[in-house]
Amino acid sequence: MRIFSKLFFAMLLPTLFALLAMIAVLQWNLVAGYPGFLAERDHHKVQQAAQQLGRLCLQYGSWEATLEQIGIPGAGPSRISDDPRRPPLAGPAPFNRPHRLNLQVILGEMGPRTSLFDAHDQLVFGNPQISPDDLRQSIDVGQQHLGWLYVHRRPTLEQDQTFSFLHSQYRLILYVACMELLLCALVAFALTGHLLAPIRQLIRAYAALSAGNYQIHLGEERHDELGQLVRDFNQLALALEQSRSHQARWMADISHELRTPLTILRAELESILDGIYPLSTQRVQLLHQDVLSLSQLVEDLQELTLSDLGALNYRKQPINLIEILRQSTIAYHTRLQQKPLSLSLNVPDTPLGVHGDPQRLHQLFANLLENSIRYTEAPGQLNIQMEATAQHIIVLFDDSAPGVPDWALNRLFERLFRLDTSRTRKNGGSGLGLSLCQAIVHAHEGTIVVSHSPLGGLRVSITFPRNCSALPTPQLSPQETDDVGNMDHRRRRTY
C-alpha cells in the first residue's frame, strides 16, 4: 500500500470509527433506554391521575357521579358505600366529551390503556384484562382506599406513536454522520496531498542526486518538520557538490604536485645521461634532495588519506603537554639558531595533562615550528605560550612578519594551498603541513584556528580538552634541562 493510502486511511478511519460508535450508542440507547424512560414517565403520570381521580370521587360521592361529571355517564356504582356486588360497567370508556376537566385531560395519552377498579375490585371502566406487567396505582385519599388505577403496558416500540419521531431523528443522525464522513474524507484527501507534496519532491530529488546531479535545490517555503527535511536535503546536495568539486581540485593539485618534482628529476637525470651535466657528488645530492621532497609529499598525502578514512593510528595516553612542547622546541634548537629566530617559550610551572598520542603531538608542534622557520623573515621572532583553564589547555604560536592577508586566513588549512607558490616550493613546502596539523588536533578533540599575530606574522591558536589525571614529573637529561632553562618564561634567547 502506498504512503498516500496509508495516511488517508489513518486520518479517515478514526473519524469513521467514532461515527459508528456514536450511532451504535444512540441505537442502543433508543432500544434499551427509551422504554424505561416511557415507563418512568407513565408511573409519574399515573400517580398524578390517581390523586386527581381520588379527590374527584370524594367530591362527587361515587365513581358513577365522578365519571358522569368528567365524561363517562352511567358507569360504575352510584355511591362509594353501595353494594360492591353491583355488576360493573362493561366496555371501553368514551373520552370525547368536551369538558374543562375530563378523563382525557386527567389521563392524557394513557387513557386508552387505563382501567379503573373500585375499592372492591369491580371494574368501573376500561379493559378488565389485567396482566402482571401492567402498572398498578392505588387510589387513596387520606386513610380511605377508593380503588385501583391500572395502566396496561405499552405496545412494542415500533407500534408506539412516538417511535415515528424517534425514527426520523435517527435517520437525520445517519444523514449528518454520512455528510460528516464525506467532509472528513475530503479534508483527509487534501491534507494527505499537502503533506506528501514535499516527500514527492524529495523522492524525485533523491533520484536526481543518485544520478549525479548535485546542483539540485528544493524550495524551502515550509516551516514544519518536512520543511526542515527539505533544508537538510539542500545542505546534503550542497555538501556533495562541494565534496565533488574539492575532490576534483584535490586530484588535479596532487597530479600537479607530483608531476612538477618528477619532471625536474627526469630532466636532471636525462641531462646527466646526455652528458650535459657531469655526474658529481653535488649533482647526486641535489637529486637525492628532490627524491626526499617527493617522498615527504607522498608520506603527507598518505597520512591525510588515512586521517580521512579514520585509519590513522593514535596511541593515546595521559601525558604532560608542557613536556611534549619543550622536547619539540629542543629538537629545533639548531634550526632556530641557523635562521636565526628568537624563541620565547612561556609555559606554566605545573604539568598540564592531556589524553593524547605523544608521537602525533610531536608531529603537530614540529610542523608549526617548521612553518615558522620556513616563512618567517630573518632575523625574526617566535613566541610560544601555553595557558590553562579548568577544562582546556590553549597553545599559542606567534611569529613575526610576513603576515597573511585576510582572504587567505580561511584557506590556510586547505590541502595544497599556497599563498605564494614559487616561494613555497623554494622553501620546500608542500601545502599539507597545516592540513596535517588540523587532522591531528581534531583527532585529539581540539580546535585549531589562525589569525593575525601581534608580532606582524601569523598566530596559530590550539585548544585541547584538559585531562586532570595525575601525571608524573618529567625527567629531563642534564643537556635538555639546560636547553629548556634557556627558553622558559623568565628568559629569552636568540639563535
CATH 3.50.50.60 is right for the domain spanning 225-309: no
Please tell me the distance from the alpha carbon of residue 90 to that of residue 264, in angstroms, as a whole number: 140
Give me the pLDDT at residue 362, please: 92
Give me the pLDDT at residue 68, please: 80
Tell how far CA 479 is from the center of its chain. Answer: 61
| Residue pointed to by grid coordinates 488517508 | 8
Give me the pLDDT at residue 447, please: 95
Give me the pLDDT at residue 394, please: 95
Bridge partners, residue 456, by sequence:
400
Give me the pLDDT at residue 95, please: 40
- Are 257 and 225 within 8 A, CB to CB? no
**225-309 and 317-494 share one fold:** no
Q: Using one digit for the tens of pLDDT, what is the confidence trace for 18-49?
A: 888 888 887 777 766 777 777 788 888 888 88
- Are 185 and 13 within 8 A, CB to CB? no
Give me the pLDDT at residue 387, please: 93
Please tell me the distance from the alpha carbon of residue 291 to that of residue 274, in angstroms, as a whole number: 21
Domain layout of the chain by residue ranges: 3-159, 225-309, 317-494
Burial class (CB in 10 A: 0-12, 13-18, 19+), 360: buried
Question: Fold for domain 317-494?
Answer: Heat Shock Protein 90 (3.30.565)
Q: What are phi and psi of 98, to 5 degrees?
A: -70, 130
Q: Which residues in the chain come in under a pLDDT of 70?
A: 1, 31-32, 71-102, 155-163, 250, 253, 256-257, 260, 307-312, 420-430, 468-495
**Residue 134 DSSP one-character state:** S
